[in-house]
């Protein structure tokens, strides 16, 4: 679509106006790949025609947003990280918080949570780490995703069997109930720890956090957006809080000097602890 350069900026502005989705956070290469596939599917000629379609066809606008924010995930994706979370990170976090406050509340943000598999996997890992001792430990997990359809699914907490391929059998039985022959639902007593929203993670502010997970969510973002985001993550965390990245990602910018490396293999960084 190289001959469409004069219409490219117009189309990006239209995406921002209609979808409330900021294209400047993403590389042109990523955006063009996703948009070109929609143009071919619809049998259109160029970005000019597609920009016109976005105005008249609400259904296509929704489909484009889904394509730009699409996620493929399952429970306990990258199991080693969740094992580390349960056996090392959560116990260390609780020890640190007990030195700082009498009744520690653990606050976690899953940025780019898709349909809820990551925050639920985190929830289970934390509960296993504290042996479900929720009388002593209080827990709040927020999941954010730009796609309202995936958030709608996350709030329902209903999942098909293929999403549990890496889930240990006893955890499936403990935390989920059979919904029908092909689906499981998170038990009601665990849903109370979870909240979801459709905020744009580049603009969202969630303060007093203890763990931020943003794994493989910003790989298509422009470098400048990543720099600002990582710096904001640092500010959102409590002293001693943790930032967990995807294993193919690299921490950039001022945040690289601010964070301490907690575990290089699992791509976990820590905000320094200041205890007086």
Q: Which domains does the chain possess?
A: 2-68 (no CATH), 79-270 (3.40.50.150)
How confident is the model at residue 25, as a pLDDT? 74
Please say if the pLDDT value at position 122 is more than 90: yes
Tens digits of residue pLDDT in 57-77: 989 988 888 788 666 578 998
Q: Are 177 and 145 in contact (CB under 8 A)?
A: no
Nearest CA-CA partner of 137 in 210, 197, 234, 243:
210
How confident is the model at residue 175, as a pLDDT? 97
Please say if the pLDDT value at position 234 is more than 90: yes
Q: Please, what is the Cα angle at 194 between 100 and 157, to 5 degrees?
A: 155
How confident is the model at residue 214, as a pLDDT? 95
Q: Are 251 and 259 in contact (CB under 8 A)?
A: yes
Please say if the pLDDT value at position 121 is more than 90: yes
Residue 4's pLDDT band (cuts 50, 70, 90): low
How confident is the model at residue 110, as a pLDDT? 96
Burial class (CB in 10 A: 0-12, 13-18, 19+), 25: buried
pLDDT-above-70 percentage for the chain: 93
Please say if the pLDDT value at position 160 is more than 60: yes
Phi, psi of 105 (to 5 degrees): -105, 125
Q: Please, what is the Cα angle at 145 between 273 and 234, to 5 degrees?
A: 20
Tens digits of residue pLDDT in 34-61: 899 899 999 998 999 999 999 899 899 8
Please say if the pLDDT value at position 2 is more than 60: no
Please say if the pLDDT value at position 209 is more than 70: yes
d(C-alpha 228, C-alpha 237), whole Å: 15
User: What's 44's DSSP letter?
Assistant: -
Please say if the pLDDT value at position 183 is more than 60: yes
How confident is the model at residue 135, as a pLDDT? 55
Residue 3's pLDDT band (cuts 50, 70, 90): low
d(C-alpha 62, C-alpha 122), whole Å: 29
Q: Are 59 and 104 in contact (CB under 8 A)?
A: no
């Amino acid at each position: 679509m190289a001959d469409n350069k004069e219409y490219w900026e117009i189309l990006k502005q239209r995406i921002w106006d209609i979808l409330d989705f900021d294209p400047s956070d993403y590389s042109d290469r990523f955006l063009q790949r996703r948009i070109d596939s929609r143009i071919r599917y619809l049998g259109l000629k160029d970005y000019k025609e597609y920009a016109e379609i976005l105005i008249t066809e609400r259904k296509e606008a929704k489909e484009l947003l889904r394509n730009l924010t699409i996620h493929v995930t399952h429970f306990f994706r990258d199991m080693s990280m969740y094992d580390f979370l349960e056996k090392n990170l959560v116990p260390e976090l609780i020890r640190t918080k007990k030195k700082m406050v009498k009744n520690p509340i653990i606050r976690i943000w899953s940025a780019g949570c898709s349909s809820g598999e990551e925050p639920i996997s985190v929830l289970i890992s934390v509960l296993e780490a504290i042996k479900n001792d929720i009388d002593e430990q209080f827990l709040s997990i927020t999941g954010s995703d730009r796609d309202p359809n995936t958030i709608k699914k996350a709030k329902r907490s209903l999942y098909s069997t293929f999403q549990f391929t890496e889930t240990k059998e006893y955890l499936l039985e403990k935390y989920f109930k059979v919904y029908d022959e092909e689906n499981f639902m998170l038990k009601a007593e665990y849903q109370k720890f979870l909240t979801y929203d459709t905020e744009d993670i580049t603009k969202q502010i969630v303060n007093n956090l203890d763990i931020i997970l943003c794994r493989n969510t910003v790989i298509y973002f422009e470098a400048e957006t990543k720099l600002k985001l990582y710096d904001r993550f640092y500010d959102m965390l409590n002293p001693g809080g943790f930032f967990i990245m995807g294993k193919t990602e690299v921490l950039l910018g001022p945040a690289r000097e601010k964070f301490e490396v907690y575990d290089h293999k699992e791509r976990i960084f820590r905000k320094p602890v200041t205890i007086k």
